[in-house]
Amino acid sequence: MKRPALVVPLLLGLAPLCAAQAQDIPGKDVGKHILQRVDTNGDGAVSKDEMIAAREHAFKKLDRNGDGVIDEKEIEGARDAIMDHADAAQARLGTRWRRMDTNGDGKVSEDEFRSRTPLFDLADRNGDGKLSADEIAAIRKLFADRAG
């Protein structure tokens, strides 16, 4: 199935930001994360040169065969990768929803939703009901290592 033509300009225009947005980064932290990735000199701002460098990096990633142009086949590959990630996220959401429905009635009540905290439980290594900075760092490292 063909995707709307809007995808290509989005891929090319926002490619430097895709890595940051692909992660589960809440609200205001998205801007901070993007800044950290693109602000290579660490001055707290993104210069035009830094944005150009980020776009060059994105171009190289999209130009899979290294011929100096991004062709339709490469865009299709990028689109397919995006759709694969979206499909996987959709499947994870369905799985998480089913796990939250602890009474099996096909609905997730507010109590069921609030009581499901597997990531918190995993991160709370000492079981004290609180996450220390070390526990948060450990779980972030675990996920970063797993992501590659």
The full DSSP string for 47-89 is -HHHHHHHHHHHHHHH-TT-SSS--HHHHHHHHHHHHHHHHHH
- Is the pTM value of this prediction over 0.95? no
Domain extent listing, the chain: 45-146
Between these two residues, 148 and 86, which has the higher pLDDT value? 86
Cα–Cα distance for residue pair 83/68, rounded to 1 Å: 25
What does the pLDDT look like over 5-30, one tens digit per residue? 444 444 444 444 444 344 444 555 76
Model confidence at 64: pLDDT above 90: yes
pLDDT tier for residue 79 given thresholds of 50, 70 and 90: very high
| Residue 109, pLDDT score | 93
> How many other CB atoms are there within 10 angstroms of residue 46's CB atom?
18
d(CA 98, CA 102): 8
Sign of the dihedral defined by the CA atoms of residues 67, 68, 73, 77, in that order: positive
**Apex CA 93: angle with CA 138 and CA 22, to 5°?**
60
CA–CA gap between residue 27 and residue 16 (Å, rounded): 18
Mean pLDDT score across all residues of the chain: 80
87 has pLDDT over 50? yes
Was domain 45-146 assigned CATH 1.10.238?
yes
Q: For residue range 133-145, list pLDDT tens digits in order.
A: 999 988 888 888 8
Q: Tokens in use for 59?
A: 């171009």
